[in-house]
Amino acid sequence: MSLTRKPATEILADLRAGRLSAAALMEATLTQIDAVNPAVNAIVGLRDRDALMAEARAADAAEAMGPLHGLPIAVKDLVNVRGVRSTMGSPVFANHVPEEDDIIAARMRAAGAILFGKTNVPEFGLGSHTFNPVYGATGNPYDPGRSCGGSSGGAAVALASGMLALADGSDMMGSLRNPAAWNNVYGFRPSFGRVPGDPIGDNFLHQLSTLGPMGRSPADMAALLDVISGPDPRLPHAYASEPVAPLQAAEMKGVRIGWLGDWGGAYPMEPGVMELCRGVLPVLEDLGCIVEEVAPPFPAEKIWDSWIMLRSWAVAGGLAPLLKKGAPLKDTAIWEIERGMGFSAMEVHKASVVRSEWFKAAARLFDSYDALILPAAQIWPFDVNQPFPSEVAGQAMDTYHRWMEVVVPVSLLGLPCVAMPAGFGEEGLPMGVQMFGRRGDDARLLALAEAYHQATRWPEMRPAL
């Protein structure tokens, strides 16, 4: 196994023990990027090689700063990183070089990580397909002519192709889960508030998006989750949490798992998706889990209507000032902003009441189940030149993002959710499932996922790159 494809936990242990130098790891990382990134365009904003090697040698000469000391990490390009071009995939910020780190970057840097560049994203993170007018599109490592998903698409591709051992991501509407599924890696959406964002604008009302880790195993993700978790006194929802690393696989005997499938037919699925995802269930049963089919616990249309109102309202809150200034924005961003600006306060209130009703229904469901499982996507990776799918299994999509509706029940409630590989379809393309639980069940979910990982080890089925 090549150095850059080793588990992050093993790399970090070797760095701590002195069996591996940060300089050797940086050299191997940059060599791998040179070899595979031209085919997929996942790493962007790469810093100067000589400066990176000097920083790695300095890390070798210094005392360890923290648990990520000497580990190269490229940060998602929705995050500001001091001294690194940070564009959000938008021409508005094409030449933006921040003077300060955002919280997640600052925490990784303080833990000793060497922040060497960025991972590619859709413009402003909107849409689950990674392309933008600054850097272009990112291809799937299992077929560069296909989408890698998004918005954490560059991060997932870099993990799958051995350019990163750990990656940060974010998730509003499946932005961690969809690319994890399509790139045969893991992504973790923490309980809302566990990993704080930056205290910009309103910090009370919008609870749809969160930052989180990605990796080639749940144990790897746990190492990064501990670094980026924790309260910030400026943020009302951020909270303290117990460490999860080193992560141990859960005892699975008697664990109750509910299978939600396609939500009683509410979510159309391309041929092969449901069958492959259902294949996860026998694995869990063999581990000792009790798996049961679960009827739809809440009307899918109500969840969707609440979601798209609260989402557009949140997007408008962040991007409306740019639209008012006449900034060049993609059509889907303008659509979200104009929708969000058109809602009355009472319309938003009613949407949140529906969210509250769904939360109560989910709480009752978790009285019977330790975790629930759904497919992580409704379609296979599509043509990289297609902006977004207009239909799924012959059913027309009425928005640019409805083809990802299956992720919305989790996102609307801010529940913890781990995206897990499920295997490959007939064309050799990956697919995955999402397993979610109660708010605060982050450690339990990751331990369940680690037991599944040890039984399957899907990320070891690597792309040819």
424 DSSP β-pair partners: 430
Average pLDDT, the chain: 98
User: Residue 440 sits in a domain of what CATH number?
Assistant: 3.90.1300.10
DSSP letter string, 241-276: ----PSP-PPP-TT-EEEE-TTTTTTS---TTHHHH
State yes or no: pLDDT of 40 exceeds 90: yes
- Does any domain span residue 45? yes
Q: What percent of the chain has pLDDT over 70?
A: 100
Does residue 185 form part of some domain? Answer: yes
* Secondary structure E strands in 336-416: 371-375, 391-392, 395-396
Catalytic-labelled residue, pool 86, 128, 152, 175: 175
Res 335 pLDDT > 80: yes
Identify whether 314 is part of a domain.
no
State mean pLDDT over 126-140: 98
Q: Which of 86, 90, 128, 151 is catalytic?
A: 151
Task: Indicate whether 76 pLDDT > 90.
Answer: yes
Contact 167, 158 (CB under 8 A): yes
Per-residue pLDDT at 96 exceeds 90 = yes
175 is an active site residue? yes
Would 322 be classed as within a structural domain? Answer: no
Tokens encoding 15: 């760095």
Classify residue 312: in a domain, yes or no: no
**Residue 45 banded pLDDT, cuts 50, 70, 90:** very high
The reply to whether 170 belongs to the active site is no
- Domain assignment of residue 311, yes or no: no
151 is catalytic: yes
Q: How far apart are CA 393 and CA 114, in angstroms?
A: 44
Q: Confirm whether 14 is domain-assigned.
A: yes
Show the domain range for 114: 3-301+344-460
CA gap 416, 440 in Å, rounded: 7
- The total number of structural domains that make up the chain: 1
pLDDT of amino acid 15: 98
pLDDT at 54 over 90: yes
Long-range contacts of 285-290 (CB under 8 A, 24+ apart): 286/455, 287/252, 287/253, 287/451, 287/452, 287/455, 288/251, 288/252, 288/253, 288/254, 288/255, 289/252, 289/253, 289/254, 289/255, 289/256, 289/257, 290/254, 290/255, 290/256, 290/257
> Is 331 a member of any domain?
no
Q: pLDDT for 204-259, tens place per residue?
A: 999 999 999 999 999 999 999 999 999 999 999 999 999 999 999 999 999 999 99
- The predicted model scores a pTM of 0.98
